[in-house]
């Protein structure tokens, strides 16, 4: 990681400090836990206006009182983080100097479920019945704060709130803290639980949601995204430290970048210029040439505007047909701020299994977007440099580059 201007505070990476991914955890509609999640990515695209996590249960990690005092989004982050920490060898092996270990957990809207529930109580029963835990339950930084306290991490504890780019930007920002020498280990990721009446109405009334109930990224007949919920958390660690303790390394986080479209509050720049610039900066940060990239994990939301703009951006950077491209949103839906972190877990598992998941739900690729889209079945793949994209309302763009371990 060079840590370019425009990607963090401009401080340079310390030579020899490389960032690796040593633990993964995921909560998604197709599976809770990495093994179930990966199996779910190989399945057909489900049908329905939303992708909830069925029978989500955090009672194995949280006491009854904690369950009542946490919003669903922070509970999901906690479950994903616990899997990631255990996968990395457990907190005692992982933490080291607690002042050099931190959390970076993004979200888009925070405790939306709690806001809706407590507003109903306010209207029906009066202000005296509103929970005194309302504010700490809804605040966007709740998940990051909870994880720092749960694991005793006293380094940076921060929250990225950049709509659907938050997960990817959280991972990039956490990686930069390690590359520049501030930290040795970070829990990074994002969580979102937007499947409430208010959330569904808001997205539905702005005509962002699919009317068919099928997410079909880059398909000629795509008609909007299917909204989902979930969380992804990864453990990032300085490479020599990870090697010294014998950790399993899934991938190297080689670079990341952030840009803005400066165009529209919901629509992406039609020519994909902001997204293309973000990809270029991320590749430069990773010191990877476009022709070396073998796989792009696309944002691919299944909306007409997003897929066209992202397709245009990918073609600008790589040419046609370019590297293999897939979107996992055909299975998990669009999990908003959680998307980039869940997709980082998917990339790590692609490295592990030497497979690229298919773009489920897509049957007739849009001829105006001539990408090398993986459809129908997973594609065998020799892991190589991989780019993962996330683009959010407000014009937020985030990209990260992973290399095989």
* Token pair listed for 83: 């899997």
* Catalytic member of 183, 278, 334, 399: 334
Catalytic: 334?
A: yes
d(CA 341, CA 347) in angstroms, rounded, equals 10
d(CA 85, CA 142) in angstroms, rounded, equals 18
CB 204 within 8 A of CB 120: no
d(CA 184, CA 205) in angstroms, rounded, equals 45
CA distances from 310 to 135, 306, 315 (A): 37, 6, 9
d(CA 224, CA 216) in angstroms, rounded, equals 8
* Catalytic member of 176, 183, 299, 396: 299
CB 77 within 8 A of CB 83: no
* Catalytic member of 164, 183, 278, 399: 164
d(CA 161, CA 154) in angstroms, rounded, equals 21
Residues annotated catalytic, as ranges:
164, 299, 334
């Amino acid at each position: 990681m060079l840590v370019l201007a425009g990607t963090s505070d401009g401080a340079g990476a310390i030579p020899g400090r490389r960032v690796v991914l040593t633990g993964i955890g995921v909560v998604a509609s197709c599976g809770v836990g990495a093994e179930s999640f990966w199996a779910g990515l190989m399945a057909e695209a489900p049908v329905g206006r939303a992708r909830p996590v069925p029978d989500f249960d955090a009672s194995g990690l949280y006491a009854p009182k904690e369950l009542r005092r946490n919003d669903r989004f922070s509970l999901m982050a906690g479950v994903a983080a616990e899997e990631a920490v255990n996968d990395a060898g457990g907190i005692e092996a992982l933490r080291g100097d607690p002042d050099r270990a931190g959390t970076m957990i993004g979200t888009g809207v925070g405790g939306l479920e709690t806001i809706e529930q407590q507003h109903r109580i306010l209207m029906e029963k009066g202000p005296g019945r509103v929970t005194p835990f309302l504010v700490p339950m809804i605040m966007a930084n709740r998940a990051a704060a909870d994880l720092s306290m749960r694991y005793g991490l006293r380094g940076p504890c921060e929250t990225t709130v950049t709509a659907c780019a938050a997960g990817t930007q959280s991972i990039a920002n956490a990686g930069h803290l390690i590359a520049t020498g501030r930290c040795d280990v970070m829990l990074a990721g994002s969580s979102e639980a937007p499947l409430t009446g208010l959330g569904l109405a808001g997205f539905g009334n702005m005509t962002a949601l699919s009317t068919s109930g099928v997410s079909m990224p880059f398909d000629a007949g795509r008609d909007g995204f299917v909204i989902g919920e979930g969380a992804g958390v990864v453990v990032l660690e300085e490479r020599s430290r990870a090697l010294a303790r014998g950790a399993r390394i899934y991938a190297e986080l080689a670079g990341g970048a952030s840009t803005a479209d400066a165009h529209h509050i919901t629509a992406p720049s039609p020519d994909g210029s902001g997204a293309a610039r973000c990809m270029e900066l991320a590749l430069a940060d990773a010191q990877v040439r476009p022709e070396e990239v073998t796989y792009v994990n696309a944002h691919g939301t299944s909306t007409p505007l997003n897929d066209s703009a992202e397709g245009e951006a990918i073609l600008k950077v790589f040419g046609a047909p370019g590297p293999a491209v897939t979107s996992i949103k055909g299975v998990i839906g669009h999990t908003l701020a959680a998307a980039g972190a869940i997709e980082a877990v998917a990339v790590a598992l692609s490295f592990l299994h030497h497979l690229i998941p298919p773009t489920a739900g897509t049957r007739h690729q849009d001829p105006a977007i001539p990408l090398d889209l993986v459809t129908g079945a997973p594609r065998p793949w020799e892991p190589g440099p991989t780019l993962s994209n996330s683009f959010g309302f407000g014009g937020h763009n985030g990209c990260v580059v992973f290399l095989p371990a």
